[in-house]
Chains A and B, each alone.
Chain A
Amino acid sequence: MLSSPFRAAAAPVAVALILLSPATSLPQAAPASLDDATIVHVLDRTGFGARAEDVAHLREIGLERYLDEQLHPERLSDAEVRARLAGFETLALDSSAIAERYYAPLLRERRATKKAATDDPSAPDAKSSDAATATMDPAERARLRELRDTGRVVMDELGQQKILRAVYSPRQLEEVLVDFWFNHFNVFAGKGPVRGYLTEYERDAIRPHVLGRFRDLLGAVAKSPAMLFYLDNWQSVDPKAAEEMSRRLDSVGTAGGLRGRAGRRRIGQRTGARATPEAIAQIQQRMPRGLNENYARELMELHTLGVAGGYTQADVVEVAKAFTGWTIRGPRQGGGYAFEERRHAKGPKTVLGTTIDAGGERDGEAVLDLLAAHPSTATFIATKLTRRFVADEPPPALVKRAAATFTSSRGDLRAVVRTILTSPEFLGADARRAKVKTPFEFTVSALRATRAEISSAAAVVQQVRTLGMPLYFAQPPTGYADTAEAWVNTGALVNRMNFAVDLTANRVSGVHVDLAALAGTTDVDRAKAWMTAHLLRSQASESTASTLARGTDLASLAALSLGSPEFQRR
């Protein structure tokens, strides 16, 4: 039963279908039933690839109820996924526990080794930890190796978790959106302690808000240690305040009497060393001295307004001032967000022509309010979401409507996504197979299509990296591109074909596919028919179909399907 948005969409779709596949019979006039091509299209865009049971489910409940389900993922049970993730201890930990259990031991060991080398007058080069390692005995080196392996567990579990959720979660749209929004608010796991903060970042700052309010998402990200560290805001301080702090340290160093001694004792406790003049000088050296513009710029360029959104260099400086004081207490120990008044630049700031003078932490909040409500933000977000769901060149009319929804709903992301997914542009012919799958999308869709059983996703994570998309390791703040040019190149195609070959030959470690069970037959000819219908969704070109027709065994049939040009698109 189609309600009005779909009746409006059904007409052009029906016409398009007639043009595309003359063999299909004419859909009926009023509540038209969904044809398979549309069902598969919707599933491929709102999720990571349609399986037979998903097609059946959508056909049964209809498009509107399906979208409702996906837009309210809490209504779908994720018990299976949770069972698969049960063994990953790090996923439920907060960052300080992660730091303490997985990173601190290695750091302590390294520092102890360096200190030992420093204290040893016969050591070749006290400053080099490599030299220290070289003089270690095998037991110590083995211990270091073990600690390093422990350190890798966190990112290993996070990467596997992402794959397993995408393959097995019924909340497919939520997974698509978590991928989208993480990428939009990209942070790079390779920068310092960021890797210890990502589990919390994705779980607590991104996921809960993907279908909520943009302002909430923006705020959670702005206060996340992951972002604060990655874009350096944790070190940004009011230059005047920095000078003051340095001067105060000077006076503590030289002050006499009780106050001086108490001050030096406090410093000693904080640094774990005596507060000698040299030590104090070192602290002063390492203290931040002024503004850091990095976050302020990317907040406007990449997170909200977009590069042409109308901000200037002056705005960048003012925004940076507003966010001084938004910092991390103890970043190397997995410490959390803290606002430090002392670092904050006081006084009014002028951002995009508006005066902001809320005071303290509220300056930053006011900037976020301003940016979230700005029309450029509505357009920028609408553009990116439309690009993800519809086409590399987002249809301008749809972008406009989605932006209008963003504005009128005050940043209700669920409403914006609904606008896109119910639009004629989304359902129309131009959108069909318009997107090239990213390495992540390709790999997951191949696993879903073959009903792969994953006992360990580690090799899969490696595979996605080989295809050029190391998960959580996109280095620039722009994240990964969402257009075909980024992913279609000779090397990538060869790797995709090789993955198809390996997967179907059961050569991917930790992954098992049973093609006979999948196709419901061991007979090659019947399997061919099944694969053409199900792996290629009857959208195989003549050449792919005839190539398949020449196939001689199930594995190569499946490989040729998953590695085909058609399967690279969604």
Chain B
Amino acid sequence: MISRRVLLRNGGMALLSLGFAPAFVARTAAAGATRRKLLITIFQRGAADGLNIVVPFAERDYYAARPTIAIAPPTRTAGADGAALDLDGFFGLHPRLAPLLPMWQQRSLAIVHACGSHDPTRSHFDAQDYMESGTPGVKSTTDGWLNRVLRAERRADDSPSSPSSTPFRAVALGAQLPRTLQGTAPALAMTDVNRFGLRGGAGTQASFEAEYAAAADRVLQRTGQDAFDAMRQLDAAAPGRYQPANGAIYPRSAYGQALKQIAQLAKADVGLEIAFAESGQWDHHANEGAANGQLGNRLDDFAQGIAALVTDLGSRMQDVVILTMSEFGRAVAENGNRGTDHGHANAMFIVGGPVKGGRVYGRWPGLAPAQRHEGRDLAVTTDFRDVFGEVAVRHLGVKDVRAVFPGYAVSASRFPGFLS
């Protein structure tokens, strides 16, 4: 294997290669070949129903509150249709999350339940904004928590050799750069890794690059330059037709294909550290369904995507953490349309080699009416920033995590403890 050097954005390489990258461009991992840690975040937009996803089947109140859409408790008969998959005698997984069960059994899947934001908003828009900015209740924050992670100082043994390195440090697979990654640190948004290039010939490309390099509009200028750097590097990495490893089969949904491309980028060694994908349509106000139905279908996609990703990444998973989140959960009781209204606390999944899995973390507050938030929702007992903070510190090596969550006294003493 040729030794590789990480491509410097504003160095001589950039001047040399106007247009297509020369074939001999070489890439190097950090001196000493430190393996790069990767965080893959998945946002379930629409407020996924955590109580039907990680089912508290030992709670009588769960069944009392959801006469038609509750998931049946685990049964001893294997493969009983529609019953929860037992996790620890108290919680069970929605049956369509079966692809994740092996990870639980192998202790690479951890769950934090009753987790979320203490802010009482039930607006999707605001709650997503708060979770992505990492500053609940504050609307004036201009950047996202992951962008601040990118800018944060890291512990020496965890950090790549040079901070201002590859344009692929943070990539969102989607048409828009999510709030989470907005900020002064560069992040890429793309819908198709394999078509991330300019048509029109080398001359036109060079001319476009010159236009954007000197654009008066700073945002367009910076974004344009990032785009050209990324195209050059992707060219050099020559991803070609990607074949997932180990027989992994990704769902054909946009979400599934996004995860596939994250794996592709991870394996292309372009310096990927933070990846973002989203899964939509979790807002089940009506006809949510129990084991089968709308929620079940979304969970199929959700679980099969993660399972494929883990299978595909194979041994690389020892450096990878997958973190899932949703802006809030859904009400304890079902509503008049066999669905659920907006709620409060939710469940997060953390998957990866470094994860101390096979456990549901966090303090379970109970579902009795007196224990519910505002008498109707699952109460929050773990602030989402404690989960994000643990990932930032223990996986990505961030030194001062308080800079990542301004206004919050993040402290390791409050980390749930799912990472070693």
Listed in ascending order, the chain A residues whose CB lies under 8 Å from chain B are: 232, 235-237, 239, 242, 285, 288-294, 297, 301-302, 307, 313, 436, 466-469, 475-478, 484-494, 497-498, 501-502, 505, 541-544, 546-547, 550-552, 556, 559-560, 563-566, 568-569
Known pairs A497-B208, A501-B204; A290 contacts B337 (CB<8 A): yes
Question: Nearest chain-B residue to A486 (Cβ)?
Answer: B176
Q: What are 26 A-B pairs at a CB distance below 8 A?
A: A232-B285, A294-B341, A301-B123, A302-B125, A468-B174, A468-B175, A468-B176, A469-B175, A476-B45, A485-B177, A488-B220, A488-B223, A489-B176, A490-B230, A491-B190, A493-B224, A497-B198, A502-B199, A541-B215, A543-B211, A544-B215, A547-B211, A556-B207, A563-B208, A565-B224, A569-B220
Bound form: Cα–Cα A242–B68 in Å: 15
Asked if residues A292 and B125 are in contact (CB atoms below 8 Å), the reply is: no
Known A302-B125, A475-B281, A568-B220; 18 more pairs at CB < 8 Å: A232-B285, A293-B285, A293-B335, A293-B342, A294-B341, A301-B125, A307-B125, A488-B220, A490-B230, A491-B196, A492-B189, A493-B220, A497-B208, A501-B199, A541-B214, A559-B204, A565-B221, A565-B224
Asked if residues A489 and B188 are in contact (CB atoms below 8 Å), the reply is: yes
Tell me if B46 counts as interface (CB < 8 A to partner A).
Answer: yes
Closest chain B CB from A235 CB (angstroms): 5
Bound form: Cα–Cα A564–B403 in Å: 37
Q: Which of B308-348 contact A (CB under 8 A)?
A: 335-339, 341-342
Asked if residues A564 and B211 are in contact (CB atoms below 8 Å), the reply is: yes
Q: Which of B26-61 contact A (CB under 8 A)?
A: 45-46
Q: Point out the residues of chain A lying under 8 angstroms from B46, CB to CB.
A: 476
Q: Which 5 A-B pairs have the closest CB atoms?
A: A290-B336, A468-B175, A543-B214, A491-B190, A565-B215
Q: Point out the residues of chain B lying under 8 angstroms from A552, CB to CB.
A: 203
Q: Point out the residues of chain A lying under 8 angstroms from B223, CB to CB.
A: 488-490, 493
Q: Which of B108-139 contact A (CB under 8 A)?
A: 121-126
Asked if residues B210 and A236 are in contact (CB atoms below 8 Å), the reply is: no
Tell me if B216 counts as interface (CB < 8 A to partner A).
Answer: yes
Question: Which among B203, B219, B286 has the highest number of chain A CB atoms within 10 Å?
Answer: B286
Q: Point out the residues of chain B lying under 8 angstroms from A285, CB to CB.
A: 68
Asked if residues B190 and A476 are in contact (CB atoms below 8 Å), the reply is: no
Q: Point out the residues of chain A lying under 8 angstroms from B197, CB to CB.
A: 494
Q: Point out the residues of chain B lying under 8 angstroms from A566, CB to CB.
A: 215
Q: Point out the residues of chain B lying under 8 angstroms from A436, CB to CB.
A: 220
Asked if residues B337 and A292 are in contact (CB atoms below 8 Å), the reply is: yes
Q: Point out the residues of chain A lying under 8 angstroms from B307, CB to CB.
A: none
Asked if residues A490 and B190 are in contact (CB atoms below 8 Å), the reply is: yes
Q: Which of B179-224 contact A (CB under 8 A)?
A: 182, 188-191, 196-201, 203-204, 207-208, 210-217, 219-221, 223-224
Contact with B207, one of A292, A484, A491, A547 (Cβ below 8 angstroms)? A547
Bound form: Cα–Cα A565–B228 in Å: 14
Question: Nearest chain-A residue to B205 (Cβ)?
Answer: A497
Q: Point out the residues of chain B lying under 8 angstroms from A290, CB to CB.
A: 335-337
Q: Point out the residues of chain A lying under 8 angstroms from B342, CB to CB.
A: 293, 297
Closest chain B CB from A558 CB (angstroms): 11
Asked if residues A236 and B208 are in contact (CB atoms below 8 Å), the reply is: no
Question: Nearest chain-B residue to A191 (Cβ)?
Answer: B281
Q: Point out the residues of chain B lying under 8 angstroms from A565, CB to CB.
A: 211-212, 215-217, 220-221, 224
Q: Point out the residues of chain B lying under 8 angstroms from A307, CB to CB.
A: 121, 123, 125-126
Question: Which among A294, A436, A466, A487 has the highest number of chain B CB atoms within 10 Å?
Answer: A294
Across chains A and B, the number of contacting residue pairs, with CB separation under 8 Å, is 172
Tell me if B227 counts as interface (CB < 8 A to partner A).
Answer: yes
Tell me if B82 counts as interface (CB < 8 A to partner A).
Answer: no
Q: Point out the residues of chain B lying under 8 angstroms from A466, CB to CB.
A: 191
Contact with B203, one of A242, A492, A556 (Cβ below 8 angstroms)? A556
Question: Which among A235, A302, A486 has the highest number of chain B CB atoms within 10 Å?
Answer: A235
Tell me if B226 counts as interface (CB < 8 A to partner A).
Answer: yes
Known pairs A292-B336, A468-B176; A478 contacts B125 (CB<8 A): yes
Closest chain A CB from B51 CB (angstroms): 18
Tell me if B380 counts as interface (CB < 8 A to partner A).
Answer: no
Question: Nearest chain-B residue to A494 (Cβ)?
Answer: B227
Tell me if B387 counts as interface (CB < 8 A to partner A).
Answer: no
Question: Nearest chain-A residue to B331 (Cβ)?
Answer: A293
Q: Which of B227-248 contact A (CB under 8 A)?
A: 227, 230-231
Q: Point out the residues of chain A lying under 8 angstroms from B416, CB to CB.
A: none
Closest chain B CB from A199 CB (angstroms): 23
Q: Point out the residues of chain A lying under 8 angstroms from B417, CB to CB.
A: none
Tell me if B280 counts as interface (CB < 8 A to partner A).
Answer: yes
Bound form: Cα–Cα A468–B219 in Å: 19
Q: Point out the residues of chain A lying under 8 angstroms from B204, CB to CB.
A: 501, 556, 559-560
Known pairs A468-B176, A494-B197; A294 contacts B207 (CB<8 A): no
Asked if residues A543 and B175 are in contact (CB atoms below 8 Å), the reply is: no
Known pairs A232-B337, A543-B210; A476 contacts B124 (CB<8 A): yes
Asked if residues B217 and A569 are in contact (CB atoms below 8 Å), the reply is: yes
Q: Point out the residues of chain B lying under 8 angstroms from A568, CB to CB.
A: 220
Asked if residues A490 and B336 are in contact (CB atoms below 8 Å), the reply is: no
Contact with A297, one of B122, B188, B339 (Cβ below 8 angstroms)? B122
Closest chain B CB from A258 CB (angstroms): 33
Q: Point out the residues of chain B lying under 8 angstroms from A478, CB to CB.
A: 124-125
Closest chain A CB from B102 CB (angstroms): 25
Q: Point out the residues of chain B lying under 8 angstroms from A564, CB to CB.
A: 208, 211
Known pairs A285-B68, A551-B207; A467 contacts B337 (CB<8 A): no
Asked if residues B217 and A560 are in contact (CB atoms below 8 Å), the reply is: no
Question: Nearest chain-A residue to B221 (Cβ)?
Answer: A565
Asked if residues A492 and B341 are in contact (CB atoms below 8 Å), the reply is: no
Closest chain A CB from B71 CB (angstroms): 17
Asked if residues A498 and B220 are in contact (CB atoms below 8 Å), the reply is: no
Contact with A237, one of B68, B207, B226, B336 (Cβ below 8 angstroms)? B336
Question: Which among A475, A484, A544 has the highest number of chain B CB atoms within 10 Å?
Answer: A544
Bound form: Cα–Cα A242–B336 in Å: 9
Q: Point out the residues of chain A lying under 8 angstroms from B174, CB to CB.
A: 468
Bound form: Cα–Cα A436–B215 in Å: 14
Q: Which of B339-361 contact A (CB under 8 A)?
A: 339, 341-342
Asked if residues A542 and B203 are in contact (CB atoms below 8 Å), the reply is: no
Q: Point out the residues of chain A lying under 8 angstroms from B337, CB to CB.
A: 232, 235-236, 288-290, 292
Contact with B219, one of A237, A488, A494 (Cβ below 8 angstroms)? A488
Asked if residues B198 and A232 are in contact (CB atoms below 8 Å), the reply is: no
Bound form: Cα–Cα A541–B338 in Å: 58
Closest chain A CB from B372 CB (angstroms): 14
Residues 134-170 of chain B: 1 if any A CB is under 8 Å from the residue's CB, otherwise 0? Answer: 0000000000000000000000000000000001000
Bound form: Cα–Cα A538–B416 in Å: 59
Asked if residues A291 and B198 are in contact (CB atoms below 8 Å), the reply is: no
Closest chain B CB from A497 CB (angstroms): 6
Bound form: Cα–Cα A302–B227 in Å: 34
Q: Point out the residues of chain B lying under 8 angstroms from A563, CB to CB.
A: 208, 211
Asked if residues A490 and B227 are in contact (CB atoms below 8 Å), the reply is: yes
Asked if residues A292 and B286 are in contact (CB atoms below 8 Å), the reply is: yes
Q: Point out the residues of chain A lying under 8 angstroms from B191, CB to CB.
A: 466, 468, 491
Asked if residues A291 and B226 are in contact (CB atoms below 8 Å), the reply is: no
Closest chain A CB from B176 CB (angstroms): 6
Q: Point out the residues of chain A lying under 8 angstroms from B214, CB to CB.
A: 541-544
Known pairs A468-B176, A489-B223, A569-B217; A289 contacts B198 (CB<8 A): no
Known pairs A497-B208, A502-B199, A550-B207; A236 contacts B227 (CB<8 A): no
Closest chain B CB from A220 CB (angstroms): 23
Asked if residues B335 and A292 are in contact (CB atoms below 8 Å), the reply is: yes
Contact with A288, one of B125, B200, B201, B336 (Cβ below 8 angstroms)? B336
Known pairs A493-B227, A498-B199; A485 contacts B182 (CB<8 A): yes
Q: Point out the residues of chain A lying under 8 angstroms from B125, CB to CB.
A: 301-302, 307, 476, 478
Asked if residues B230 and A235 are in contact (CB atoms below 8 Å), the reply is: no
Closest chain A CB from B381 CB (angstroms): 21
Bound form: Cα–Cα A498–B199 in Å: 6
Closest chain B CB from A161 CB (angstroms): 23
Question: Nearest chain-B residue to A560 (Cβ)?
Answer: B207
Q: Point out the residues of chain A lying under 8 angstroms from B167, CB to CB.
A: 490
